[in-house]
Structure 1
Protein backbone atom coordinates (compact mmCIF):
# COMPACT_ATOMS: atom_id res chain seq x y z
CA UNK A 1 0.00 0.00 0.00
CA UNK A 2 1.37 3.35 -1.09
CA UNK A 3 0.52 6.92 -0.12
CA UNK A 4 2.01 9.80 -2.04
CA UNK A 5 1.34 12.73 0.27
CA UNK A 6 1.64 16.39 -0.60
CA UNK A 7 1.35 19.28 1.80
CA UNK A 8 -1.08 21.61 0.08
CA UNK A 9 -2.57 25.02 0.66
CA UNK A 10 -5.51 24.01 -1.54
CA UNK A 11 -6.72 20.87 -3.29
CA UNK A 12 -9.90 19.70 -4.97
CA UNK A 13 -11.16 16.80 -7.03
CA UNK A 14 -13.78 17.19 -9.75
CA UNK A 15 -15.85 14.42 -11.38
CA UNK A 16 -18.04 15.18 -14.41
CA UNK A 17 -17.75 18.90 -13.75
CA UNK A 18 -18.81 18.63 -10.09
CA UNK A 19 -16.45 19.24 -7.16
CA UNK A 20 -16.72 16.12 -4.99
CA UNK A 21 -13.94 16.89 -2.50
CA UNK A 22 -12.03 20.03 -1.52
CA UNK A 23 -9.71 21.23 1.25
CA UNK A 24 -8.23 24.64 1.99
CA UNK A 25 -5.07 23.28 3.61
CA UNK A 26 -3.63 19.95 4.64
CA UNK A 27 -2.60 16.81 2.84
CA UNK A 28 -3.48 15.58 -0.60
CA UNK A 29 -3.14 11.81 -0.30
CA UNK A 30 -2.86 9.80 -3.52
CA UNK A 31 -3.51 6.21 -2.42
CA UNK A 32 -2.32 3.16 -4.34
CA UNK A 33 -3.44 -0.31 -3.31
CA UNK A 34 -1.48 -3.37 -4.37
CA UNK A 35 -2.20 -7.10 -4.49
CA UNK A 36 -1.72 -8.59 -1.06
CA UNK A 37 -2.57 -5.41 0.84
CA UNK A 38 -4.73 -6.08 3.87
CA UNK A 39 -6.57 -4.35 6.71
CA UNK A 40 -3.49 -4.31 8.95
CA UNK A 41 -1.41 -2.50 6.32
CA UNK A 42 -4.28 -0.10 5.71
CA UNK A 43 -4.50 0.85 9.37
CA UNK A 44 -0.72 1.23 9.65
CA UNK A 45 -0.52 3.49 6.60
CA UNK A 46 -3.36 5.67 7.87
CA UNK A 47 -1.52 6.01 11.19
CA UNK A 48 1.70 6.96 9.40
CA UNK A 49 0.00 9.56 7.21
CA UNK A 50 -1.71 11.16 10.20
CA UNK A 51 1.43 11.13 12.35
CA UNK A 52 3.88 12.31 9.68
CA UNK A 53 5.30 15.65 10.81
CA UNK A 54 5.54 17.86 7.73
CA UNK A 55 3.85 21.07 8.89
CA UNK A 56 5.80 24.00 10.30
CA UNK A 57 5.85 24.79 14.00
CA UNK A 58 6.40 28.27 15.47
CA UNK A 59 10.11 28.03 14.60
CA UNK A 60 9.36 27.08 10.97
CA UNK A 61 10.57 23.49 11.48
CA UNK A 62 8.63 20.48 10.17
CA UNK A 63 7.44 19.29 13.58
CA UNK A 64 3.64 19.18 13.35
CA UNK A 65 1.40 16.49 11.92
CA UNK A 66 -1.80 17.23 10.02
CA UNK A 67 -3.98 17.20 13.15
CA UNK A 68 -1.63 19.38 15.17
CA UNK A 69 -1.62 21.86 12.29
CA UNK A 70 -5.45 21.91 12.28
CA UNK A 71 -5.64 20.74 8.69
CA UNK A 72 -7.62 18.23 6.61
CA UNK A 73 -7.07 15.37 4.16
CA UNK A 74 -8.17 14.95 0.58
CA UNK A 75 -7.77 11.25 -0.27
CA UNK A 76 -7.83 10.17 -3.92
CA UNK A 77 -7.51 6.57 -5.10
CA UNK A 78 -4.75 6.23 -7.67
CA UNK A 79 -4.09 2.75 -9.00
CA UNK A 80 -1.22 4.00 -11.16
CA UNK A 81 0.98 4.22 -8.05
CA UNK A 82 1.10 0.41 -8.10
CA UNK A 83 2.38 0.37 -11.70
CA UNK A 84 5.40 -1.64 -12.77
CA UNK A 85 7.81 0.86 -14.30
CA UNK A 86 11.17 -0.94 -14.20
CA UNK A 87 11.35 -1.76 -17.90
CA UNK A 88 9.92 -0.70 -21.20
CA UNK A 89 8.04 2.42 -22.15
CA UNK A 90 4.59 1.43 -20.99
CA UNK A 91 3.55 0.83 -17.38
CA UNK A 92 2.14 -2.52 -16.30
CA UNK A 93 -0.68 -2.75 -13.81
CA UNK A 94 -0.65 -6.37 -12.69
CA UNK A 95 0.58 -5.34 -9.20
CA UNK A 96 -2.64 -3.45 -8.48
CA UNK A 97 -5.31 -4.96 -6.27
CA UNK A 98 -8.55 -6.16 -7.84
CA UNK A 99 -11.04 -3.26 -8.01
CA UNK A 100 -13.50 -4.58 -5.40
CA UNK A 101 -10.72 -5.18 -2.86
CA UNK A 102 -9.00 -1.90 -3.68
CA UNK A 103 -12.26 -0.01 -3.14
CA UNK A 104 -12.84 -1.78 0.19
CA UNK A 105 -9.34 -0.87 1.40
CA UNK A 106 -9.68 2.69 0.09
CA UNK A 107 -12.87 3.13 2.12
CA UNK A 108 -11.23 1.49 5.15
CA UNK A 109 -8.26 3.88 4.89
CA UNK A 110 -10.65 6.84 4.87
CA UNK A 111 -12.58 5.46 7.85
CA UNK A 112 -9.34 4.85 9.78
CA UNK A 113 -8.48 8.51 9.25
CA UNK A 114 -11.96 9.78 10.15
CA UNK A 115 -12.07 7.89 13.46
CA UNK A 116 -9.36 10.26 14.73
CA UNK A 117 -11.71 13.22 14.22
CA UNK A 118 -9.85 14.69 11.28
CA UNK A 119 -11.85 16.02 8.34
CA UNK A 120 -11.46 13.73 5.33
CA UNK A 121 -12.64 14.65 1.85
CA UNK A 122 -12.42 12.10 -0.97
CA UNK A 123 -12.60 11.53 -4.66
CA UNK A 124 -14.79 8.81 -6.17
CA UNK A 125 -13.19 5.41 -6.52
CA UNK A 126 -12.50 4.42 -10.16
CA UNK A 127 -13.99 7.63 -11.54
CA UNK A 128 -12.30 9.83 -14.12
CA UNK A 129 -11.16 12.58 -11.76
CA UNK A 130 -9.49 15.92 -12.28
CA UNK A 131 -7.34 16.78 -9.29
CA UNK A 132 -6.10 20.34 -8.73
CA UNK A 133 -3.75 21.36 -5.98
CA UNK A 134 -1.28 23.96 -4.82
CA UNK A 135 1.68 22.11 -3.34
CA UNK A 136 2.93 24.07 -0.32
CA UNK A 137 6.70 24.08 -0.25
CA UNK A 138 6.74 22.02 -2.42
CA UNK A 139 6.57 19.17 0.09
CA UNK A 140 5.92 15.65 -1.20
CA UNK A 141 6.65 12.26 0.42
CA UNK A 142 6.19 8.63 -0.61
CA UNK A 143 5.05 6.37 2.23
CA UNK A 144 4.77 2.62 1.77
CA UNK A 145 3.89 -0.21 4.13
Structure 2
Protein backbone atom coordinates (compact mmCIF):
# COMPACT_ATOMS: atom_id res chain seq x y z
CA UNK A 1 0.00 0.00 0.00
CA UNK A 2 1.34 3.37 -1.02
CA UNK A 3 0.46 6.83 0.26
CA UNK A 4 1.71 9.99 -1.35
CA UNK A 5 1.02 12.61 1.31
CA UNK A 6 1.09 16.35 0.95
CA UNK A 7 0.90 18.92 3.72
CA UNK A 8 -1.80 21.33 2.57
CA UNK A 9 -3.42 24.57 3.59
CA UNK A 10 -6.55 23.36 1.79
CA UNK A 11 -7.62 20.66 -0.67
CA UNK A 12 -10.77 19.71 -2.54
CA UNK A 13 -11.98 16.91 -4.79
CA UNK A 14 -14.66 17.55 -7.40
CA UNK A 15 -16.62 14.99 -9.41
CA UNK A 16 -18.80 16.21 -12.29
CA UNK A 17 -18.31 19.80 -11.15
CA UNK A 18 -19.44 19.20 -7.57
CA UNK A 19 -17.26 19.06 -4.46
CA UNK A 20 -17.32 15.59 -2.88
CA UNK A 21 -14.55 16.16 -0.34
CA UNK A 22 -12.98 19.31 1.06
CA UNK A 23 -10.57 20.11 3.90
CA UNK A 24 -8.73 23.06 5.37
CA UNK A 25 -5.27 22.65 6.86
CA UNK A 26 -4.10 19.05 6.99
CA UNK A 27 -2.95 16.24 4.74
CA UNK A 28 -3.96 15.24 1.24
CA UNK A 29 -3.38 11.50 0.78
CA UNK A 30 -3.20 9.88 -2.66
CA UNK A 31 -3.64 6.16 -1.89
CA UNK A 32 -2.51 3.31 -4.13
CA UNK A 33 -3.48 -0.28 -3.32
CA UNK A 34 -1.50 -3.29 -4.53
CA UNK A 35 -2.49 -6.96 -4.86
CA UNK A 36 -0.59 -8.11 -1.76
CA UNK A 37 -2.11 -5.46 0.52
CA UNK A 38 -4.40 -6.42 3.40
CA UNK A 39 -6.50 -4.87 6.13
CA UNK A 40 -3.42 -5.10 8.37
CA UNK A 41 -1.35 -3.05 5.92
CA UNK A 42 -4.18 -0.50 5.61
CA UNK A 43 -4.27 -0.13 9.40
CA UNK A 44 -0.48 0.14 9.62
CA UNK A 45 -0.35 2.82 6.94
CA UNK A 46 -3.23 4.73 8.55
CA UNK A 47 -1.32 4.76 11.86
CA UNK A 48 1.77 6.11 10.07
CA UNK A 49 -0.17 8.85 8.28
CA UNK A 50 -2.03 9.86 11.45
CA UNK A 51 1.18 10.13 13.46
CA UNK A 52 3.59 11.39 10.77
CA UNK A 53 5.15 14.58 12.09
CA UNK A 54 5.15 17.03 9.18
CA UNK A 55 3.78 20.18 10.80
CA UNK A 56 5.95 22.85 12.41
CA UNK A 57 6.15 23.39 16.15
CA UNK A 58 6.92 26.75 17.80
CA UNK A 59 10.60 26.28 16.88
CA UNK A 60 9.69 25.74 13.19
CA UNK A 61 10.69 22.04 13.36
CA UNK A 62 8.53 19.26 11.91
CA UNK A 63 7.47 17.81 15.25
CA UNK A 64 3.66 17.89 15.08
CA UNK A 65 1.26 15.44 13.49
CA UNK A 66 -2.13 16.24 11.95
CA UNK A 67 -3.94 15.66 15.26
CA UNK A 68 -1.65 18.11 17.08
CA UNK A 69 -2.78 20.93 14.77
CA UNK A 70 -6.45 19.85 14.69
CA UNK A 71 -6.08 19.23 10.96
CA UNK A 72 -8.07 17.07 8.61
CA UNK A 73 -7.22 14.47 5.99
CA UNK A 74 -8.52 14.15 2.44
CA UNK A 75 -8.01 10.68 0.95
CA UNK A 76 -8.09 10.19 -2.83
CA UNK A 77 -7.77 6.74 -4.40
CA UNK A 78 -5.07 6.69 -7.07
CA UNK A 79 -4.32 3.32 -8.64
CA UNK A 80 -1.52 4.82 -10.76
CA UNK A 81 0.69 4.83 -7.66
CA UNK A 82 0.87 1.04 -8.03
CA UNK A 83 2.38 1.35 -11.52
CA UNK A 84 5.68 -0.28 -12.43
CA UNK A 85 7.60 2.39 -14.36
CA UNK A 86 11.05 0.80 -14.35
CA UNK A 87 11.17 0.09 -18.06
CA UNK A 88 9.51 0.99 -21.31
CA UNK A 89 7.44 4.02 -22.18
CA UNK A 90 4.14 2.90 -20.71
CA UNK A 91 3.39 1.98 -17.08
CA UNK A 92 2.42 -1.54 -16.11
CA UNK A 93 -0.37 -1.98 -13.59
CA UNK A 94 0.13 -5.70 -12.99
CA UNK A 95 0.79 -5.16 -9.28
CA UNK A 96 -2.34 -3.04 -8.72
CA UNK A 97 -5.20 -4.55 -6.76
CA UNK A 98 -8.48 -5.37 -8.48
CA UNK A 99 -11.09 -2.60 -8.17
CA UNK A 100 -13.08 -4.66 -5.65
CA UNK A 101 -10.05 -5.34 -3.42
CA UNK A 102 -8.78 -1.77 -3.77
CA UNK A 103 -12.13 -0.21 -2.86
CA UNK A 104 -12.50 -2.40 0.22
CA UNK A 105 -8.98 -1.54 1.42
CA UNK A 106 -9.44 2.15 0.58
CA UNK A 107 -12.57 2.20 2.75
CA UNK A 108 -10.76 0.29 5.51
CA UNK A 109 -7.85 2.76 5.39
CA UNK A 110 -10.27 5.71 5.75
CA UNK A 111 -12.10 4.03 8.64
CA UNK A 112 -8.75 3.35 10.33
CA UNK A 113 -7.82 7.03 10.03
CA UNK A 114 -11.16 8.03 11.54
CA UNK A 115 -10.50 5.73 14.49
CA UNK A 116 -7.59 8.06 15.37
CA UNK A 117 -10.08 10.91 15.94
CA UNK A 118 -9.22 12.71 12.72
CA UNK A 119 -11.71 14.36 10.40
CA UNK A 120 -11.50 12.46 7.11
CA UNK A 121 -12.99 13.46 3.78
CA UNK A 122 -12.74 11.34 0.64
CA UNK A 123 -12.91 11.45 -3.08
CA UNK A 124 -15.14 9.07 -5.03
CA UNK A 125 -13.55 5.70 -5.72
CA UNK A 126 -12.90 5.01 -9.43
CA UNK A 127 -14.43 8.33 -10.50
CA UNK A 128 -12.88 10.92 -12.78
CA UNK A 129 -11.83 13.39 -10.08
CA UNK A 130 -10.39 16.87 -10.23
CA UNK A 131 -8.16 17.56 -7.24
CA UNK A 132 -7.20 21.08 -6.23
CA UNK A 133 -4.86 21.93 -3.40
CA UNK A 134 -2.64 24.52 -1.84
CA UNK A 135 0.52 22.61 -0.92
CA UNK A 136 2.05 24.06 2.25
CA UNK A 137 5.81 24.21 1.84
CA UNK A 138 5.71 22.38 -0.52
CA UNK A 139 5.93 19.29 1.66
CA UNK A 140 5.37 15.90 0.03
CA UNK A 141 6.33 12.39 1.22
CA UNK A 142 5.99 8.86 -0.17
CA UNK A 143 5.00 6.32 2.50
CA UNK A 144 4.54 2.60 1.98
CA UNK A 145 4.08 -0.56 4.00
Deviation, 1:91, is 0.7
The residue that corresponds to 2:123 in the other structure is: 123
Q: How many residues align?
A: 145
The alignment yields a C-alpha RMSD, in angstroms, of: 0.5
Instruction: Provide the residue aligned with 1:14 in structure 2.
Output: 14
**1:38 matched to 2:34:** no
Match of 2:87 in 1: 87
TM-score, with structure 1 as normaliser:
0.99
Matches within 5 A, 1:18-97: 18-97=18-97
- The reply on whether 1:113 has 2:113 as its aligned counterpart is yes
Partners of 1:89 and 1:8 in 2: CA distance = 32
Aligned to 2:100: 100
> In structure 2, how many angstroms separate the alpha carbons of the residues matched to 1:118 and 1:49?
11
Instruction: State the Cα distance separating 1:115 from its structure 2 match.
Output: 1.2
User: Following TM superposition, by how much is the alpha carbon of 1:24 offset from its aligned partner in structure 2, in angstroms?
Assistant: 1.0
> Structure 1: which 4+ aligned runs deviate by more than 4 Å?
none
Per-residue Cα deviation, 1:29-73 (whole angstroms, up to 9, x for no partner): 000000110011110000000010000001111000000111000
1:2 aligns with 2:2: yes
Structure 2 unaligned residues grouped into runs of 5+:
none
